[in-house]
Structure 1
Amino acid sequence: MATNGRMSVVEDLVKYLDSSMSKLNRIWTEIGIVDYQRKERAQTAMLHLQNLLQDMVQEEEALKHQITKRIEKYTQEVKTLCNELEIPQFEPCGKLSMLQCEKDLRAKVESLSQEKQDRLNTLKTLKDQDQHLCDAMCLTPYYIPTGSTPSNDQLKALEQHVNSLKAEKEKRFVEFVSKKKQIVELFHEIDRNPQSDFECDVICEEDNTFLLSTENMKSLKVLLTELEEQKEDMQKEVTELWGRISCLWDRLEISEAERSHFKKDKSGIKAPLIEALKVEIAKCEKLKFDNIQRFVEGMRKEIVEWWDKCFFSREQREDFTAYFNENYTEALLDEHEREVKKLKKYYEDHKQMFESLEKWDCFFRQMIEMERKANDPNRFNNRGGKLLQEEKARKKVLKDLPKIEEDLKETVIKWEAENGRPFLVEGVALDVFVQRQWEAYEEQKVKEKEQRHKAKARLMEEEMIYGSKPSTPAKKRFLTTPTKTPSSKLRKLEDGSSSRISVQVRLRVKLNDTTKTPMSCSKIQHSSVFASPAMKAPMSASKYTPGCKTTRRRSLRGNRKVLSERNAGPPNTALFSHTTVSSHGQTAPPLHYDASMASMGSYQDFESGIQMNSTLTYRRKPPLGI
């Protein structure tokens, strides 16, 4: 296509040259220029034409050369920018013309230059932020070589570094504000003023001006810790002083009014308060030395309490010989104070085990008490579900006691393994102590059982001799028909007896049974009523004359008093129920408790009736009170 264009231009040029030469020849002919002049003029025209074309070629050659130079320049710039920006090299297409290649290279140079400028601007911004943050926290700025274009990775790393510094600064600032607030409060609580330049910077300067360096943050933390420890020490000192004062007040028996007056407006832990407490202690100490004996006795009570808490044995308690010293001096008082401190420290060092031991001891005592209540026959008289509650509590104690004992043993075993020495309770190992407690409990149960058997045997012996009282508990009430007010004579009889119960006794024994032991009770039948002597009619019968009845009533009054005292038996708290005696299961008709005592004969008649109807012989015991 280019060749066709060129041929067309040549043809046009030849046509234009031929036309022009034809015109020149016509003009020259008209003018009359001779042939040689025509030839000269034609050569001149040809020379002009050659020069023109030569100039045009030279100009185009120069243009081509310029384009080539620019292409080389742009190519070099693109290569340099790609290297600086750390991107792949740009390769223009080889089929493009010089002008198109120049255009593409120029556009690429412009885009790469803009990217480079953007990176440099970003770098400058990030470096400024980094420098500001590093100055605020006294850190080293992020290093990027100067005079070079940063890569994308370098810019990302720098941006992350700046973001981390921002977060760190924000964190340190929040920490500083929080700790500054605590420090200011502590300065106020302990009544302390800033002493060093750093403390002044923290307390007096603005928050934004404080240098959040690593060293300053460490110093801030150290200052806060120091103030907290100082406050804790002052609190501990104040607590100890108040405890000392309270102890002195208790031993000096200071009134509540004086205590309240001293405590008024005395709160906190400031130095003036500590000084006032020390003055009060000095005052009480002076009074203490004036009352050494009372102080020593009070401390001895406290020592006994600590001995009990620490489960000290008798031998361990006797080791403190000053406890038995009656020579009350300051040295003796100091010795008691040291012993109290020693016991307190011993208890605190083993507090966990002593608390576990106290818990076990409490449950063990609860078990003993509940077992005692479970064996009490009067517990069935309880109302309001109390018996059910006691039974539930007893089951819970019996269930929890083994677990508590096992936990206690594990705790002691662990402590002994850590300390390499045995843990003593009342001077012996824990297993021995627990075993002794159980053995003592079992021995007490056996002892109580023997006492009940002895009491029962003694009661049955007395019942065989003097009769028995009804087994119905005294607290039980019967629904009876209301009766009229008893006569004055009956009231006189009732005043002499504590039981207010009329008794009839009848004892029948087979006369021909000589194989039985005289005092055997194995075949005695028990009932809730009494048998009366068969040979004696009631005193209220109409066959007695008034005089005889009065004489007989007076003679029987003393005997019935003795019989009522015998029938009263042991107190209501006895563990065994009382029985009555009848012969061979035969019982008299039941009697009401409000029946007249006049229906009972004298004791002599009762005894003579037994002797007449029985072959049993026994020695009569004298009445009680004689």
Structure 2
Amino acid sequence: MNTTTEDSELAVLVSLLQESICESANLKQLSRVWTEIGMNEAQRHERRERIVLHVNDLLEEMSSEELNLKMKLEESFESNKAELQDLCKQLSLKEEDVPSGSEMPLYQRESFVRGRVDALNKMKFDRKKRLKRIMEMESSMCTSLGEVSQLKAVYKSETVPSEEDLKSFRTRVEDLEFTLNERRSIFQDLCNKVSNIWAELEEEPHGYFSTAHKDKSPPLVLSTAEMCNIEEAYKQIVTAAARLEGSALEIREKIQSLWTRLNVPEEEQMAFNQAHLGHKPRVIAMLKEELDRLTELKKANMKLLICNTRTELHKAWDKCHYGDSQRREFLPAFSDDYRDDVLGDLESELDRVNGFYRDNEELFQKVEKRETMWTQYQELVAKSSDPKRLFSARGGQLLKDQQLQKQIKKDLGKLEKGLTAELKQWEEDCERYFIVQDSRYLDTIQSQWEQTGKQKQMEKEKRQIVKEEQTMMEMTYGSKPITPLKKIMKRPAASPLTMPAKMRKVGQSPCVSATSNSVRSLNRPPRSTSRVTRTAKTPLYTPQKRSAMLKARRVLKDKNSQLPPPDPTSESFISQISHINASLASAGTYTDFQKGASSQPRSSVVPRTSSRTDFT
């Protein structure tokens, strides 16, 4: 504080003292008492000096107290300031700025620093409290999980964690809680499964899960090693149950095989199976008794058993697609001996084939599926090359067949791709070929596609040859337009006079028929002279006659189609052609015909001349 401030403060105090003394009743009373007592001036002066001394002592005492207060405030400020800096370091906070004396008086500075220290101490206490709770939770969970507490090893009771540390500790506690709950859930699930297995086997709980089964609660420690022991114990129980189930299944298969061979009635089989369900030890004992009984019957019915075993063996061979050579390799299947060793060989072979089918059942199913799809594909290909389908297909059947063929070919390609990869892997693992019907199935697939390609090529070449022969015939003898059947049906019924000559003379050859038609057309009288008059109401031909005529035409067409094509180099063909040329020459030229037509009178009916030669 500067001098001016001190002087003004002193003036204020003096002024206050003067006013207080002047207005003080005590001083007046002292002066009155002194007067009444009769004190002289010296005594009065002495007492005035004493009053001044008392006032100075009081001022000195007050000054000392105020100095002490200032020192305490300064000490408190410094200590709180140091504690504030230390708390900032402990709480991992940024060091705070403390106001200086020029910015704030000592009392306010001390009060500000003290308030900040109290706030940080509260934060410190809160963090340590949270840390303690987290450490207790982490310690409890580590004990349940059989692990060592990491927080106790890292942090001591005096350490104050940061907010990031508390967050990471909380995350660890959550992870431990999740792991603990997961292990408890796994343990409870395994306990339930084991309880079900014991219930199925009609056994009392024993071993590792017996205590948990009785208490209905997991053990206190679920460490990693303990969980491995629990899972191992569960696997042992499951393995034992599976062993019993496999033993029961094996005995049932043997019993079923003996039932089949001994021709045991199905009613008796069903009754026994219904009375002995499951794979409990009691059931397995009953199954063994039945197997022993059937074994004794087997010895008494050796011939019947051998015959039935051979039948089963052939069925097993059929499932595995064995060929004749593969079957002939096993001689006991075709011998006439009925000895015990033959039956043993048959049973061993049957077990081997059945085991081979079970091990490769998926492959055999895919092979059968592929064979079925291949048969469908071949049928559709053959159907698509049949020309008769064009007349019998209705309702878009051709399009449906074509789409089905494409789809089957696509699915067949996908199936063969996967099957080929599996067969190659199987052959690599087993170091032998996968045989189907005495041949390697991979080679069979390839050969079938090659054969299909060759067949298509042969059909294509055959059609090309037929087309070339037809073209050569048309170039040599000319082509004849074929009238569709619908137009033939629309024509009016023909009379015997208008009926074609080839329908009246069915047995003649094409060449003779053509010659006779040509000659007859030239010598035929006009139709008007030979037309029979009839009434308009009576039809010329009844439907029965018309049907007979159409049938005769079809018969003639079939016979002509069966005749071999004429050989241009044969003597009979040359003579027939010469006869036709001579007949045409006797008819005259077109100039003679034109002269005759111009010389004769015109008529409304002109005889029809046919210059067409028909070789059909």
Q: Normalised by the size of structure 1, how large is the TM-score?
A: 0.61
Q: Which residue of 2 aligns with 1:71?
A: 77
8 A Cα contact 1:412 1:423, kept in partner: no
One-letter code aligned to 2:302: I
Contact 2:313–2:350 (8 Å) recurs in 1: yes
Provide the identity percentage: 23
2:338 match: secondary structure:
coil
Letter of the 1:109 partner, please give it.
V
Output the amino acid matched with 2:175. Answer: S
Is residue 214 of structure 1 aligned with residue 224 of structure 2?
Answer: yes
> Displacement, 1:306?
3.0
1:326 aligns with 2:330: no
Q: Which residue of 2 aligns with 1:8?
A: 12
Deviation per CA, 1:176-195: give whole Å up to 9, x if none: 33322222111111233333
Q: Deviations over 1:549-584 (max 9, x none)?
A: xxxxxxxxxxxxxxxxxxxxxxxxxxxx99589999
- Paired residue secondary structure (1:264): helix
Q: Is the 8 A contact 1:201 1:210 kept in 2?
A: no
Q: Distance in 2 between matches of 1:353 and 1:267?
A: 31
Deviations along 1:133-186, whole A, 9 cap, x unmatched? 333333333333223333323322222223333333333333333322222111
User: Which residue type is aligned with residue 71 of structure 1?
Assistant: F
Which of residues 250, 254, 260 is equivalent to 2:264? 254
Higher helix share: 2
Classify 1:117/1:423 alpha carbon distance in 2 versus 1 (closer, same or farther; 3 Å).
Answer: same
Number of the residue aligned with 1:277: 287
Q: What 5-or-longer segments of structure 2 have no aligned partner?
A: 460-503, 515-552, 561-616
Rounded Cα–Cα distance in structure 2 between residues aligned with 1:42 and 1:318: 155
Q: Secondary structure at the match of 1:167?
A: helix
Between the aligned partners of 2:417 and 2:110, the Cα distance in structure 1 is 97
Match of 2:202 in 1: 191
- Shift of residue 79, structure 1, vs aligned partner: 3.3
Structure 1 residue 231 and structure 2 residue 241: aligned? yes
Q: Equivalences for 1:277-426 in 2 at 5 Å?
A: 277-365=287-375, 396=404, 400=408, 404=412, 407-408=415-416, 411-412=419-420, 415-416=423-424, 419-420=427-428, 421-426=432-437
1:203 lines up with 2:213 in the alignment: yes
CA distance in 2, matches of 1:439, 1:27: 156
Could you say which structure has the greater relative contact order, defined with CA pairs below 8 angstroms and 6 or more residues apart?
Answer: 1
Counterpart of 2:14, as a letter, is V
CA contact (8 A) 1:360 1:401 kept: no
The Cα of 1:132 is off from its aligned counterpart by 3.0
Counterparts in 2 of 1:386 and 1:331: CA distance versus 1, 3 Å: farther
Q: CA–CA distance in 2 between the matches of 1:258 and 1:55?
A: 125
1:244 aligns with 2:261: no
Aligned to 1:61: 67
C-alpha deviation, 1:436, in angstroms: 7.1
RMSD over equivalenced CA pairs, Å: 4.7
1:171 counterpart letter in structure 2: E
CA distance in 1, matches of 2:94, 2:352: 84
Contact 2:187 2:218 in 1 (8 A): no
Kindly provide the CA deviation profile for residues 183-236 of structure 1, in whole angstroms up to 9, marking residues without a partner as x. 21111112333332x221221113266544434433333333333333333333
Residue 161 of structure 1: which of 172, 177, 181 is its match? 172
Partner amino acid, structure 2, of 1:10: V
**For residues 256 and 22 of structure 1, do their structure 2 counterparts lie closer, same or farther at Cα, with a shift above 3 Å needed?**
closer
Seen in structure 2, the aligned counterparts of structure 1 residues 388 and 289 have a Cα distance that, compared at 3 Å, is farther
Aligned partner of residue 207 in structure 1, secondary structure: coil
Please name the residue that 1:150 is paired with.
Answer: 161
Separation of aligned partners in 2, 1:206 and 1:583: 97
CA distance in 1, matches of 2:201, 2:9: 105
Give the TM-score of the pair, scaled to structure 2. Answer: 0.62
Q: Is the 8 A contact 1:380 1:387 kept in 2?
A: no
Deviation of the 1:363 alpha carbon: 4.4
For residues 73-110 of structure 1, what are the alpha-carbon distances to aligned partners after superposition, in whole Å with 9 as ceiling and x for unaligned? 33333333333333234443223223222322332332
Q: Which residue of 2 aligns with 1:85?
A: 91
CA–CA separation in structure 1 for the residues paired with 2:365 and 2:512:
57
Alpha-carbon spacing, 1:166–1:303, altered in 2? closer, same or farther (3 Å) = same
- Alignment partner of 1:108 out of 109, 116, 119: 116
Distance 2:289 2:348 in 1: 22
Corresponding position of 1:179: 190
Unaligned runs of 5+ in 1: 447-505, 511-519, 526-576, 585-626
Provide closer, same or farther for how the CA distance between residues 353 and 117 of structure 1 changes in structure 2, counting only shifts above 3 A: closer
Shift of 1:285: 1.4
Aligned length, in residue pairs: 463
Give the direction of change, closer, same or farther, for the CA distance of 1:254–1:43 in structure 2 (3 Å limit): closer
CA contact (8 A) 1:71 1:101 kept: yes
The superposition leaves residues 224-269 of structure 1 with CA deviations (integer Å, 9 ceiling, x where unpaired) of 3333333333333322222221111010001123223322321111
Secondary structure of 1:328's counterpart equals coil
**Closer, same or farther in 2 for the Cα pair 1:408/1:213, shift >3 Å?**
same
Asked if 2 retains the 8 angstrom alpha-carbon contact of 1:379 and 1:387, the reply is: no
